Structure 1
Amino acid sequence: MSPAAAPAAGPLARLVAETGTRFVLAVFTNLRGKPCAKLVPAAAVDQLEAGELGFAGFAADAMGQQPGDPDLVVVPDPRSFTSLDFIKPGLALVHCDPWVNGEPWRFAPRVILSRTLADAATDGLELKVGAEVEYFLVRRNPDGALCTADPRDDESHPCYDARGVTRMYDHLASVSDAMNTLGWANYANDHEDGNGQFEQNFAYDEAMVTADRVMTLRYIISMVAEQREMIATFMPKPFSDRTGSGMHLHMSLWHDGDPVFPAQGRDRYGLGLSATAYSFIAGVLDHAAGMHAVLCPTINSYKRIGASTTTSSATWSPRDVTYGGNDRTHYLRVPDGNRVELRGGDGSANPYLAIAVQLAAGLDGVRRDLDPGPPATLADAARTLPPTLLHAVDELSRDRVVRAALDIGGDGVAAYYADLKREEFTAWHNTVTQWEIDEYLTAL
């Protein structure tokens, strides 16, 4: 009797073998945007593919679980396989979808985005996204205070400074080389508006691909910075007197491989857009306040939005819900007739959730055939964004479309997310800060 044939290797196992990978980081992202992982040796990748790798969801935090709940079992997406040889020889990463009791877990951000994309597909629409990833490179002083990693980066207007980019050449080039080796088509690396602030860009792609790449790039940037004894932070506003970090998202809808946004016949408001694009814009504007707790999900986010002055005299962070042409003061900018850029999100945003709620808002505008009206100036703005995280959570709780986007896999996610953010606000509010000591200690 001949021995039974060994089961065929799965697609992930084949990738591991072809690339000589020794270990795979099996990654999923929680609702706060934290990447959670286990390090899986190559010999056990078949178990990962078979759905045998479990996590305690409560320990991972912000995953809708209690200590007694069943394991999260992760299902890897081989399309997201990424070799990380430049971080550690033989290391790779794969993004995974958590499942519970044989079903995709509704509290998992990647699952939420996947189902939102499937909802768009029922209308024959596909979303493509480009992301701008901004961050600061810092170090800690002996007293624990943050300082710019490059001590000579002290210009009052450092944006695009050739010398600042050159001094960080090794870091920026390492990240750029990594992106290009992975086929992401890095096309620019620049010094941003704040001292110590940088941005590195890659080509747009399908929405899920871009969301995975944002998470992977944050990891790569952080690890490369650590190799040079720096800290890369995506915190929206680590310095009171400097511009904060955004995560601008460029969005376009497609149908059967063709772009939907370029003008088709009559251009209603002269921005080179189709009627569908204007309705998409109207939906995003209509739900801007409701989305804000997702796009700007931390206490610190609102110090970026609320900044009135910075060393460079600009904030680049919109407070008003407006749209217009190639004008970076708008919440929604239309650089050309192929895309719209949402400038309201910041560096702490979970890319899966941020893309999901924006798509849901835009689809609502398309399905209701909304009209955004003519492009407005800031002086014409009728609506402003929520001033604090607590206000933003209240807006989310009132917004039917945004709640439905988070609850797309089942009820309870939107309420759970809102509770997480209310608890975060309360924890901050209950902490006595140095500002209060300085302001009130001897004032009375």
Structure 2
Amino acid sequence: MTTHTPPANAEELKRAVARDGVEFLLVMFVNLRGKACAKLAPAHTLDRLLTEGLGFAGNAADGLGQTSADPDVVAIPDPTSYVRVPIQENLGIVQCDLYVRGEPWPYAPRGILRRQLERLAAQGLELKAGAEPEYFLVRRTDDGGIRVADELDDAASPCYDAHAATRALDHLTTISRSVDALGWGNYSNDHEDANGQFEHNFGYADALRTADRVVVFRHLVRLAAHRAGLIATFMPKPFADLTGSGLHLHLSVWEGHRPLFEAADDPRGLGLSRQAYGFVAGVLDHAPGLMALTCPTVNSYKRLGARAGTLSGSSWAPGYASYGGNNRTHMVRVPDTGRIEVRCVDSAANPYLALAGLAAAGADGMARDADPGHPLDADLEATGTAADTGSLRPLPPTLLHAAEALAADDVLREGLGKTPDGYYTDYYAAEKRAEFDGYHRQVSDWELRTYLQV
């Protein structure tokens, strides 16, 4: 049995672990890159975990602002994050907040999001989020490459293909049952626009809980795929000729039980309030720097842009800092009254950092009562729309451009907070510059084919 109401405190956590027959806990956190790091702890050590935590060498975990000379980061479980792993008997997961010498560690992504949400809470506001995680199921080839797991999944336009989805039924139903067992409210599972690509949808929650869910979801999907002899990859663009994977985020701000983004009298016809337009304007204004958080890898930028050479003819990823109604070619889409969808987030994004950045950008727009202008109806993927996009700001073309924009954005700098060495955005941007440099120093097959005999 799995409770649909998460434990509210340490005592409820102990009762939930005992009730669920959990024998071991993955004591988990993520680093800068969103990698799930964990130690396996016997459940009988729970009292000690909750008071003393578990120590980790932060430099070994990577992306936590430490060297080998630094003291341990101590992971202390958040009781409200507990889940029992539905597809692994006797195993549970708890997400942790990180401390060094008894103080919250400012390089911990979950702590960064928590602190930004606390700033909103001080104004009586709460950010709620829903996530749409996409991924590919692939197999290794004999030469070390990858191919789509299902050899029959080769249609030029496979989105919503009933036969392809049915062939993947064992995997899809395993994930659907797992998500429902966790109480997240699974309501859709589908074959996406690329061969071998899938998406699962579940209910929205407060932003911290949704970020926790994304981390657990990725772990479950990878575990289920591994057991079937497959690889589940959240790499944004594993195939040059196929649509990339996103992590579209649906956002709304609430004041108590009152949703602030709804307005029946919106003259622009989107059902959005003045606060919602301010939030949208903030996201668009800070789009260049946000991209380093929402599209955090070199590979991310091969997914972006109009008509990205895909078999289906669409990229489903924005190229401009723009917004519109129910129009999937924009960075911000308004699919319904009372919420917005941010479509520049990809499958590799660290959900804590992406949501922290979006919260900071949106809060800035609300505070300034900023106006994003009128929504655009144009199809920004269609050819011949250059005149429509002349006044729009293109999104950064590479990770390096986005990292430089993040380092220069004062609002995001304050939103993600300070570290002992300066600001987290400076540390993050430096890591991403190094990542881009490592990529740029490689000599690719394309370069050999193009330049070898020039």
Give the 5 Å matches for 1:226-305.
Answer: 226-263=226-263, 266-305=265-304
- Residue 12 of structure 1 corresponds to 13
Aligned residue for 1:248, secondary structure, equals: strand
Letter in 2 for 1:96: C
1:402 and 2:412 aligned: yes
**Conserved? CA contact 2:21–2:90, under 8 Å:** yes
Change in Cα spacing, 1:15 to 1:164, as seen in structure 2 (3 Å) is: same
**Conserved? CA contact 2:86–2:182, under 8 Å:** no
Distance 1:186 1:360 in 2: 29
Distance 1:299 1:108 in 2: 22
2:429 to 415, 418, 435: 418
Change in Cα spacing, 1:212 to 1:424, as seen in structure 2 (3 Å) is: same
Shift of 1:10: 4.0
| Aligned residues: CA RMSD | 1.4
Shift of 1:267: 1.6
Q: Deviations over 1:185-212 (max 9, x none)?
A: 0000000000000000100111111000
Give the 5 Å matches for 1:42-81.
Answer: 42-81=43-82
- Residue 439 of structure 1 corresponds to 450
- Residue 354 of structure 2 corresponds to 354
- Residue 128 of structure 2 corresponds to 128
Aligned residue for 2:95, secondary structure, equals: strand
Letter in 2 for 1:414: T
- Residue 89 of structure 2 corresponds to 89
Q: Deviations over 1:306-325 (max 9, x none)?
A: 46221011100101111110
Distance 1:408 1:128 in 2: 25
Aligned residue for 1:333, secondary structure, equals: strand
Report percent identity of matched pairs.
Answer: 53
Change in Cα spacing, 1:437 to 1:101, as seen in structure 2 (3 Å) is: same
Distance 1:10 1:270 in 2: 49
- Residue 326 of structure 1 corresponds to 326
**Conserved? CA contact 1:189–1:199, under 8 Å:** yes
Shift of 1:336: 1.3
Runs of 4+ aligned residues of structure 1 deviating over 6 Å after TM superposition are: none
Distance 2:123 2:80 in 1: 24
Distance 2:86 2:220 in 1: 11
Greater displacement, 217-226 / 397-406: 397-406
Letter in 2 for 1:89: E
Distance 1:54 1:431 in 2: 36
Shift of 1:9: 7.4
Shift of 1:268: 3.9
Shift of 1:75: 1.2
Distance 2:314 2:272 in 1: 29
**Conserved? CA contact 1:12–1:45, under 8 Å:** no
**Conserved? CA contact 1:318–1:329, under 8 Å:** yes
Distance 2:397 2:10 in 1: 53
- Residue 39 of structure 2 corresponds to 38
Distance 1:109 1:327 in 2: 31
Distance 2:371 2:439 in 1: 39
- Residue 400 of structure 2 corresponds to 390
Greater displacement, 300-309 / 129-138: 300-309
Distance 1:125 1:406 in 2: 18
Q: When the two structures are superposed, what TM-score results if normalisation uses the length of structure 2?
A: 0.93
Give the 5 Å matches for 1:129-148.
Answer: 129-148=129-148
Unmatched 5+ stretches in structure 2 = 1-8, 381-387
Distance 2:419 2:60 in 1: 22
Distance 2:152 2:415 in 1: 45
